[in-house]
A = this chain, B = another copy of it.
Amino acid sequence: MLEVSNLFAGIPEALSEELFQDLLKTPHFRLERIVSHGQASPPGFWYDEPTHEWVALLSGRAALRFADRDDLFVLKPGDHLLIPAGWRHRVEWTDAEEKTVWLALHFP
């Protein structure tokens, strides 16, 4: 019944693609673990989500770019931010050495 998992465990050694896993899902939100290993959004691709997304980076490094901003948001472990629905953004790069583990909480 009570089951302890670890956010840094259960990650394949080689990640040819980003790993997306729901940790919790209710009608009102979805909590997701994302693991990246050097991946980035494809050139020209922008996430344009209908829901808000609170995102926290727990390990590794990554850079987020927003469509209406010039500056890059370089994230280190512990960094978190709220990306409002409809704010177009992309992952410019993620750490090629260490795996980047994210928590993402999606809600309307």
Contacts and interface: CB of A to CB of B under 8 A. Distances in A.
Interface of A: 2-9, 23-24, 26, 28-29, 31, 54, 56, 58, 66, 69, 73, 75-83, 87, 103, 105, 107
A98 to B, nearest CB: 14
B105 A105 contact: yes
Given A2-B66, A4-B80, A75-B4, A28 B31 contact: no
Contact of A73 (B4, B69, B107): B4
B81 A28 contact: no
Given A2-B73, A24-B82, A56 B107 contact: no
B81 A31 contact: no
